[in-house]
Amino acid sequence: MNGDHKIDSTSDDPKTPLLPVVQLQETIQRSPSFHHRCPESIFTANNLFILLGPLSCALICTFVHLNAPNTSRNMLAILAWVFIWWLTEAVPMPVTSMAPLFLFPLFGISSADAVVQSYMDDVIALVLGSFILALAVEHYNIHGRLALNITLLFCGDPLNPPLLLLGICATTAFVSMWMHNVAAALMMMPVATGILQRFPVGLGRSDVISRFCRAVVLGVIYSAAIGGMSTLTGTGANLILVGMWKSYFPEANPISFNTWFFFAFPLALLIFLALWGILCLLYCSKDSGIALSAYLDRAHLKRELELLGPMAFAEKMVLAVFSILVALWMTRSITDDIPGWGVLFQGRVGDGTVSVMVATILFIIPNKKQKGEKLMDWSKCKKLPWNIILLLGAGFAIANGVRTSGLADVLSAGLDFLEHAPYLAIAPAVRIISGIITEFTSNNATTTLLLPLLIQLADTMHVHPLLLMVPGAIGAQFAFLLPTSTPSNIVGFTTGHIDITDMIKTGLPLKIAGIGAISLVMPTLGGKVGARIMCNFIPDQ
């Protein structure tokens, strides 16, 4: 028990009620409907959604008959149950994500041991290691120091608001490349709002200052999403894509960290430049530099940076470990001519292996602040996002279940009418549909829902699955219109600087620009970078 709580001396008597009898009686007397309110409280919207999950499962098992083994019908019923709970959040999403652990064995989809293995593979190890490193960066405030340095670099003399906005957004995007985009938004938003606190509030704030504040907040939340697209560790949707590719096509070449980076970074850069242009066009007027110079200059930023003092040994070591991790990720598998250091281990080592190994080093190196303390200890890891890890595991389990239950064959047969549909017509539709669904549910849930369907659609059309899977996964990250679309949007919305109108006015053209960028990159750079993956893969005819 926490020692800060005061305990009444009478509480030691086991006969003393937790709530005095008189107070309890008064409470009942003040509530004449006390005896009738409890049954009525059962019939809430949340409880109805909870019931809707197993009810839909039972209805499908009873009335739906597929020309396939019973396991395919059972898998469809499980999908209905899980997706209803995911979409409505009637049950917390991490709890719903554990449902396959008991549903799959009970419905004969797979054994308990088989489904558990989906919740811990190399992709999950990649997430664990990268999140531990992100927690170390946050603990030592390295992101704050980085933000101040880059903002100081881009501030300009005299102040150039578009250039300063570029610096803040670029810093956020860079941070988001190496940790989850929600974590990046949570870490960078206090830095951004700290800069905005220098401006007057209320009646003393001009329209020019108010518009620039909106641009900064919008820039942080959207840059976090865009930066996360460029690396596997930046967002859960990318990891779900990699895991499902590995699950459905285990004999094909895997999607490595550097393969994804060389494709996705140019794509993210195009979308980032579009974001910066939209923000400058909508929120940075010609006279904004003069209005902002009175409150923000290089001298203020320098003083704030000086208050942080020189970098300590712990910060330097975390940065060194971070650099080693990135170098190992990028050089494990390079090209066919230059295979990388991974060839020394005959393909047994994955990106997750490297991630956990480097994270382990943080628990060994001393931080030189207090005797016996290391750079990281397990108490700091209590903030690990187990909800994301469980959701990833559920996605991989569902992918395996759809394939092994026979439901994949049923879906493929149901899409026969699209066999001769042109790819140039289907691919844009995939991007648009994915971008719409993600506004109403999480990016990860959207990716988990769409990718198995896109794999079967690609098989029906006799095209490489990645030509549809990649646009579907990236389109699921275009959650730019609503505050509730993704947690990083909520982070910006709660600052009070933006409203839904700002998000729609900025997010709609950004979503259109993102779809255009995918349409440009997929048939050009995507084909070249993905050649190593596609060369050993022959779609079913």
Q: Please check whether residues 105 and 152 belong to one and the same domain.
A: no
Q: Please say if the pLDDT value at position 357 is more than 90.
A: yes
At 532, the pLDDT band (50, 70, 90 cuts) reads low
18 pLDDT higher than 50: no
pTM, two decimals, is 0.70
Whether 288 and 317 have beta carbons less than 8 Å apart is answered as: no
Of the residues 65, 90, 111, which one is the last residue of a structural domain? 111
Nearest to 485 by CA among 510, 519, 520, 513: 510
DSSP string for 209-268: HHHHHHHHHHHHHHHHHHHHHTSGGG-HHHHHHHHHHHHH-TTSPP--HHHHHHHHHHHH
Q: Which two tokens stand for residue 87?
A: 């979409």
Q: Write out pLDDT tens, residues 147-160.
A: 778 777 877 667 78
Please tell me which residue, 499 or 526, carries the higher pLDDT value: 499
Cβ neighbors of 29 (< 8 A, separation 6 or more) are: none
- Are 307 and 447 found together in one domain? yes
Return the closest-CA partner of residue 149 out of 175, 113, 183. 175
Same domain, 175 and 308: yes
Picking from 329, 312, 351, 350, the residue whose alpha carbon sits closest to that of residue 136 is 312
| Mean pLDDT computed over every residue of the chain | 80
**DSSP helix/strand/coil, 332:** coil
CA atoms of 325 and 529, how far apart (whole Å):
22
Q: Are residues 419 and 504 in the same domain?
A: yes
Overall domain count for the chain: 2
**With bands split at pLDDT 50, 70 and 90, how would you rate the model's confidence at 75?**
very high
Based on the fold, state whether residues 177 and 102 are members of the same structural domain: no
Determine phi and psi for 480, rounding to 5 degrees: -110, -5
pLDDT for the residue 55: 95
- Residues 147 and 91 placed together within one structural domain of the fold: no
**Are 284 and 149 found together in one domain?**
yes
* Same domain membership, residue 235 and residue 192: yes
Owning domain of residue 106: 56-111
Residue 99 has pLDDT above 80, yes or no: yes
Q: Among residues of the chain, what percentage have pLDDT more than 90?
A: 21
Q: Decide if pLDDT at 23 tops 70.
A: no
Q: Are 411 and 399 in contact (CB under 8 A)?
A: no
> What is residue 80's predicted lDDT score, i.e. its pLDDT?
92
Give the confidence band of 342 by pLDDT, cuts at 50, 70, 90.
confident
User: Which pLDDT value is given to residue 510?
Assistant: 94
Any domain includes 157? yes
Range of lowest pLDDT (19-33, 258-272, 359-373): 19-33
Say how many Å lie between the first and final Cα of the chain, rounded. Answer: 65
Q: What is the pLDDT of residue 509?
A: 94
Same domain for 265 and 303, yes or no, is yes
pLDDT, position 249: 85
> What is the mean predicted confidence (pLDDT) over 389-408?
83
What is the spatial distance between Cα 3 and Cα 5, in angstroms, rounded to a whole number? 5
- Say if 443 falls within a structural domain: yes
Domain assignment of residue 186, yes or no? yes
**Token pair recorded at residue 539:** 């779609």
Note whether 73 and 197 are same-domain residues: no
Averaged pLDDT, 436-457: 81
- Look at residue 289 and tell me if it is in a domain: yes
Q: Is residue 304 part of a domain?
A: yes
Least confident segment among 210-224, 290-304, 305-319: 290-304
- Token pair in block for residue 269: 């850069």
Last residue of a domain, one of 111, 133, 151: 111
Average pLDDT value for residue range 295-315: 81
Name, of 8-12, 28-32, 337-341, the range with top average pLDDT: 337-341
Domain assignment present for residue 401? The answer is no
| The pLDDT of residue 13 is above 70 | no
The pLDDT confidence band at residue 428, using thresholds 50, 70 and 90, is: confident
For residue 213, being part of any structural domain is answered with: yes
Does residue 359 form part of some domain?
Answer: no
Q: Are residues 86 and 193 in the same domain?
A: no
Q: Which of 16-20, 337-341, 496-500 is predicted most confidently?
A: 496-500
Integer Cα distance of 157 and 329 in angstroms = 38
* pLDDT per residue as tens digits for the range 240-250: 888 888 888 88
Q: Which of 111, 130, 149 is the last residue of a domain?
A: 111
To 5 degrees, how large is the angle CA 535–CA 338–CA 345? Answer: 90
Q: Verify cis geometry, omega within 30 degrees of 0, for the bond prior to 158.
A: yes
* pLDDT score for 5: 42
> Same structural domain for residues 228 and 276?
yes
Q: How confident is the model at residue 16 (pLDDT cuts 50, 70, 90)?
A: very low
What pLDDT is attached to residue 529?
56
Lowest-confidence pick of 164-168, 188-192, 361-365, 505-509: 188-192
Give the lowest-confidence range in 119-123, 209-213, 275-279.
119-123
